[in-house]
Amino acid sequence: MPGYQPWCHGNITRSKAEDLLSKAARDGSFLIRASESIQGAYALCVLYQNCVYTYRILPNEDKKLSVQASEGVPIRFFSMLPELVEAYYSPNMGLITHLQYPVQREEEADEDPESSDLPPQLPPRNFSPNDLKDSDQKSPEPACKSLSDTYLMRLQHVDISTVPEEHQMAIQEYFRNSIVLDAEQVQNGCHNLPGLKKLTLTICKNLNSEISRVLPALEVFHRTLDQQLSPGIGQHSKRVSADSGQSISFRLEQLTKLLYSLEDKAKSSLFESVGYEGGHRKSLIPPVTFEVKQESLGISTKMFLKVDVESGKLYFKKSKDGAEDKYYVHNKILQLVKFQIKQNVKLVIVLETEKEKILKREFAFDDAKKREGFCQLLQQMKNKHSEKPEPDMITVFVGTWNMGNAGPPHNISSWFQCKGQGRTQDDTADHIPHDFYVIGTQEDPLGEREWADMVKGVLRNITNISFKQVAIHTLWSIRIIVLVKPEHENRISHVFSDSVKTGIANTLGNKGAVGVSFMFNGTSFGFVNSHLTSGSEKKLRRNQNYVNILRFLNLGDKKFNPFDITHRFTHLFWLGDLNYRVEFPSTEAEYIVTKIKQQQYQELLSKDQLSMEKNDGKVFLHFDEEEITFAPTYRFERDTREKYAYTKAKATGTKYNLPSWCDRVLRKSYPLVHVVCQAYGCTNDIMTSDHSPVFASFEVGVASQFVSKQDPNSAPQGGIQIMNCVATLLTKSKTKFFIEYYSSCLERTVKTSEGENSEHSDGSIKVRFGNQVELTPIISDPEYLLDQHILICVKSTDADESYGEGCVALRAAQICYTEFQITLTHHGEKTGTLTGGIQLQTSEVKPTEKLYDFIKVERDDTVTSRGRGNDFNKCSVTQAHDISNPNYMGMSFQREVIDKGWSYSMPPKGLPQGSKDSKKGGYDVGTRSPTVKAVNPTGEGEKVSEMFDNPLYGSMAKGHGRGKDQDHQPRDHLTPVDQNFSTFKTADGESERPPVPTPRNRSFTYSETKPQPPTPITSHPSMQKKPVVPSHSEGGGSNMPRPPLPSKYRAEPQVTKPRDYRDSSELPIKQRLPGRPSQPLPHQRHAS
């Protein structure tokens, strides 16, 4: 488009366009932006009577532009946008009103150069011919001459004493004369550089002949190593060797590839000869012994538990070096129950004896980290010896490191072993390999191959496994690499990678993001490594970087085009140097350092820019971050972690870089999936950069490539019904809307008819979609469907653009018709809400036990444990399917069912059965994604000092409970947990079988409730301050019998008065309703 056009706003979002028009506040105000739904098309946005009308401008085959206006108006075609705009200044052209007042574009201030005095570091590449071509077409000769002078001047400052004289003369001649001729060739459109070719042939004359001499010998060696000889190899090698007319760079590339191939094949052969299988040696986890205490009749006895992962046995020993008293095979270890009491060291092991009786052994570990290490080893044992053909749980390591343009030290093992500060792993877990390793680096000076080989070598030394590379992608010095265990290689598919530049004017790649996505069996993963704008004052620029990456990073299944990357994946991990700073005045630098030395991070974290922007809903909406319990990772003096270099002298004055948590790992997952953070911290022994590497470890549930056990001919046809949908949209657009439903489990995308609009006094639009929608899944087996999700997109009819997207888990409707309420988002911001009902039409199914059900977390309190005989098969906080990540984008559920097990909706026993309160249950999934973490894998409660290597961590234990729900946006309706979300039967129908393991607990975050839309669901008893009394069917509701209890846990004779859990000081604070919406909960003050 020639010239500057003030009404052309480029790639701004639809909501931003509406904001600009609303500020203009004059009928006939208009602007043009790029279409969000059709590439190469535009959207004409016009303001009339405080409403925004949008018209698509579409190109035809001849690239002529036309406006989709009112019917009955002749279509006119235009060659250029200015011509089109000029025509529509006239009335009666089919628009709501003719164009009158162009809305000026908001000029975005470009990012300033980096804080250093040097310009942004250029990527490791040669000059682009196009760059030279476009630099100054009007005066090529002065530009070429200037280029020659520049390089000759640089050459004078380079030590060339070791270079042969003939080569010195050749280089000088090239910069003096030949480079000018080559530049002229580029100006004329010829990319052949004769001067450069002549120079390389002169310098590499001997190298060329040496390649011809050594290449045949290397190829013979290669063919010998290659088990399957290809008849074409010999012919190809003769051609490459003999053709000396090929360029030196091409022949070097062939030689380099051959050397790499030789190295890989030689390693493979050597590894196999010393016991490696399939190119990798089995990961041998050595037996680990734990010292524990067992109490009996008030007497504490020392014991030793020996875990042998390879043999699949757990030994009980009275002395560390003595003989094993007794052992249990992996399939006889039914469940681990972690209790949040006594410094989180208590663990109950549920075992099956030879006579198929249930035995419970209670132990106390030295600290919570030891207990967690023991649990991880037993979980690894169960996984290793599982008879399942496909895994249902994997572990993912995510690491980020700004390398500061310096090479790494020789030893970086601590990074991959999650050792250092913060929430770290116990030494006993050192040899447990993760299934994935995802490593993001920024300011990485190494080449891709060099870095990949180094990482693989470190992991091989730690785990004895040669990890396979799934993908590697680099944008300048921003890089991401994904490695996976060899046994998972065939489970990986649909691998995509992409990058987005967000540097100066969004054209330089010194800042930006790289991403990788893939499918692991039936679960989609996305990983984004970003390096955002630096500088404490550049917070808004960083926010814009984030939005640009969301919009333009092209990953995942292309059929999900209406959705950005926050909706395309079951699990999305975002890592990198996000560069958000601690917002203190520079005069407080010494105060900040003092607080860090005292490990009093809470006050600093309250001023963390990322947390504040996230809480305001401006970035990372519905992302989750584990609590930060480690020191700021930037800006250190290099080669030490004892001193922060927060000042830098510049010509304009002193530049301050206050210590900050720049390097972060966040995540977002679909609702009702399993994801638990096991570690989050930074290293303290890798000191080559001014940043410390950050690590995070996750336990993630995955779905297999499903093969139905039902006969396809006799299996009933299943269906998914969605009905009574009402969308409340925060928009001023005057248009009609419809809904599209997407899912990998559906045969096709389903589109509804137009909804009925009604306007609210607050400016929002309520759209009712009355018709029931029937979705047909490709597989009707309920076991498959319960792992699936439906993506929902509310679109406009005028421009076919999204006004909000959300996600519903089919698992929420596994029992009966369920009402849901989800938050709609678009391009990272909240755009409204959607309510409706969902029902599955399928046969009943017995849920398959998952590996992550093996460990359960409980609170040990007198009402539900000791007062009730301490039945370990019952969960005192949440129930069987309150697994991980119930919080997702404001989704909440309600069910029209009768409570069967204990839940927050249980009335007191004295309440008549006919009471309405006893008939309604509710299931809440808050407003946050991905994981609820009031109860974490280590089960830490109020005291967490045992989990951290840093001896001073105890001083920061108080006040560190960061609330999961820190987004301060208005919350959707929340109702407490419903026991009926469990698929297990109540205890009334139990039979003589071992208990089915139930998942570890999660807690739920409550907020102020908003007025609910009219529904048949009654208000919840827990909102009426009635005491909660557990029923006899409390807990997981297993259909197994309650096993005999140890004598210690027989019910005590005294009657314990029931307590209202909402007022209990022992219940996690997140489960109480806040007193005022403006006052955050005590554990919600800090910041991701």
Q: What is the pLDDT of residue 309?
A: 93
Report the percent of the chain where pLDDT is more than 90. 49
Phi, psi of 139 (to 5 degrees): -135, 70
**Token pair 């639809």 in the structure block, residue:** 14
Q: What is the mean pLDDT of residues 110-117?
A: 47
- Please enumerate in sequence order all residues whose Cβ is within 8 A of that of 405, keeping only pairs 6 or more positions apart, or say none: 121, 443, 445, 477
pLDDT given for residue 123 in this prediction: 55
pLDDT bracket for residue 191 (50, 70, 90): low
DSSP 8-state assignment for residue 417: T
- Bridge partners for 365 per DSSP: 292
The predicted pLDDT at position 1010 comes to 39
C-alpha closest to that of 336 among 851, 1003, 932: 851
Decide if pLDDT at 964 tops 80. Answer: no
Cβ-based burial of 32 (10 A; exposed 0-12, middle 13-18, buried ≥19)? buried
SS3 label, residue 782: helix
- If you average pLDDT over residues 44-63, what whole number do you get? 94
Task: Give percent above pLDDT 70 in the chain.
Answer: 69
- pLDDT at position 890 over 90: no
How crowded is residue 113: how many other Cβ atoms within 10 Å of its Cβ?
Answer: 12
Residue 317 φ then ψ, to 5°: -130, 145
Across the range 85-105, mean pLDDT stands at: 93
The answer, yes or no, to whether residue 712 has pLDDT greater than 50, is: yes
φ and ψ at residue 495, rounded to 5 degrees: -85, 125
- Alpha carbons within 13 angstroms on the beta-carbon side of residue 375 total 36
- The count of other CB atoms within 10 Å of the CB of residue 812 is 26
C-alpha to C-alpha distance for 347 and 379, rounded to whole angstroms:
14
Provide φ and ψ at 82, rounded to 5°. -55, -35
Considering the entire predicted model, what is its pTM? 0.70
- pLDDT for 320: 83
The amino acid at residue 176 is R
648 to each of 143, 216, 448, 655, 658, how far by Cα in Å? 36, 56, 32, 5, 11
The model's confidence at residue 894, banded by pLDDT at 50, 70 and 90, is: low
DSSP H helices in 650-804: 782-785
- pLDDT tens digits for 911-944? 333 333 333 333 333 333 333 343 344 444 433 3
Contact 1062, 1022 (CB under 8 A): yes
Please report the pLDDT score of residue 306 as a whole number: 94
Of 414, 421, 415, give the one whose Cα is nearest residue 438: 415
Distance, CA of 599 to CA of 602 (rounded, Å) = 9
pLDDT digit string, tens, across residues 1027-1069: 444 333 333 333 444 444 443 333 444 444 444 433 333 333 3
Q: Looking at residue 574, what DSSP letter applies?
A: E
Report pLDDT for 631. 98
Query: Using one digit for the tens of pLDDT, what is the confidence trace for 501-553?
Result: 998 877 888 999 999 999 999 999 999 999 999 999 999 999 999 999 999 99
3-state SS record for 251-318: HHHHHHHHHHHHHHHHHHHHHHHCCEECCEECCCCCCEEEEEEEEECCEEEEEEEEEECCCCEEEEEC
- Predicted confidence (pLDDT) at residue 973 exceeds the cutoff of 60: no
Segment 941-964 mean pLDDT: 38
Is residue 876 pLDDT above 80, yes or no?
Answer: no
Q: Is the pLDDT of residue 903 over 50?
A: no
Residue 993: helix, strand or coil by DSSP? Answer: coil
pLDDT of residue 112: 52
Q: What is the pLDDT of residues 299-320, one digit of tens each?
A: 889 999 999 999 999 999 988 8
**If we measure between CA atoms, which residue out of 579, 411, 602, 458 comes closest to residue 510?**
579
Q: Give the model's confidence band at 122: pLDDT under 50 very low, under 70 low, under 90 confident, else very high.
A: low
Question: Residue 121, Cβ neighbours under 10 Å: how many?
Answer: 15
Report the mean per-residue pLDDT for the chain: 77
pLDDT of 822-848, one tens digit each?
Answer: 999 999 999 999 999 999 987 776 777
Confidence of residue 625 (pLDDT cuts 50, 70, 90): very high
| pLDDT at position 262 | 67
Q: What is the pLDDT of residues 234-291, one digit of tens each?
A: 444 444 444 445 677 777 777 777 777 766 666 555 555 544 444 444 568 899 999 9
pLDDT at 722 over 80: yes
Report how far apart the first and last C-alpha atoms of the chain are (Å, whole number). Answer: 43
Which has the closest alpha carbon to 792: 834, 753, 764, 754? 834
What phi, psi does 350 have (nearest 5°)? -95, 120
* CA of residue 94 relative to chain centroid, distance: 46
How far is residue 376's CA from residue 655's CA, in Å, rounded to a whole number?
46
Q: Token pair for residue 195?
A: 């001067």
In terms of Cα–Cα distance, which of 270, 258, 263, 313 is closest to 289? 313
pLDDT tens digit sequence for 361-399: 999 999 999 999 999 999 999 988 988 889 999 999 999
Average pLDDT of span 449-476 = 94
Q: How confident is the model at residue 144 (pLDDT cuts 50, 70, 90)?
A: low
Residue 951 has pLDDT above 60, yes or no: no
User: pLDDT tens digit string along 11-24?
Assistant: 999 999 999 999 99
CB 275 within 8 A of CB 262: no
**Residue 730 one-letter amino acid:** L
Residue with tokens 């309440």: 911
Distance CA 600, CA 592 (A): 10
